């Protein structure tokens, strides 16, 4: 992700983004192989560790997001309404699009700082 941020042009950015997506796909496949008993590399402890770590990080991120002290607009709360695997959906009650974008940027920075590299959270969309 650091390389992607410092990419010199759209072609390099596209290549690095493709590489990042391929690595994520490979990681998900390895998790799948280790988590199914039909696999020759069935290692349930490894698959369970991946799930437990993911759930723990998701709960930590949700708690930090729901903490009123982390909300940049005190009278317009941001609350997690859904979380799954590597993402959170946050409802920004009463916030304009501009305010919600600012809240999302602030929360993505806060959450990225909670976890070690290469884990990070980013604002993907507002609707």
Give me Rg for the CA atoms of the chain: 17
Query: Is pLDDT of 2 > 80?
Result: no
Query: Is pLDDT of 121 > 90?
Result: no
pLDDT value at position 1? 67
For residues 15-42, one letter each, b for 16 or more C-beta atoms within 10 angstroms of the residue's C-beta and e for the rest, the string is ebeeeeeeeeeeeeeebebbbeeeeeee
pLDDT value at position 53? 86
User: To which H or E segment does residue 88 belong?
Assistant: strand 87-92
Q: Where are the domains of the chain?
A: 1-42, 45-127
Q: What is the pTM of this model?
A: 0.74
- How confident is the prediction for the chain on average, in pLDDT? 88
pLDDT in tens, 63-91: 999 999 888 788 899 999 999 877 899 99
pLDDT in tens, 89-99: 999 999 999 99
């Amino acid at each position: 992700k650091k390389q992607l941020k410092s990419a010199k042009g759209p072609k390099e950015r596209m290549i690095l983004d493709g590489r990042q997506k391929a690595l994520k796909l490979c990681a998900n496949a390895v998790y799948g192989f280790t988590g199914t008993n039909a696999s020759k590399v069935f290692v349930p402890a490894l698959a369970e560790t991946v799930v437990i770590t993911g759930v723990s990080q998701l709960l930590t991120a949700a708690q930090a997001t729901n903490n009123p002290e982390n909300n940049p607009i005190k009278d317009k709360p941001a609350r997690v309404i859904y979380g799954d695997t590597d993402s959170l959906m946050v409802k920004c009650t009463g916030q304009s699009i501009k305010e919600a974008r600012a809240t999302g940027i602030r929360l993505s920075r806060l959450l990225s700082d909670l976890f070690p590299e290469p884990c990070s959270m980013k604002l993907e969309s507002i609707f």
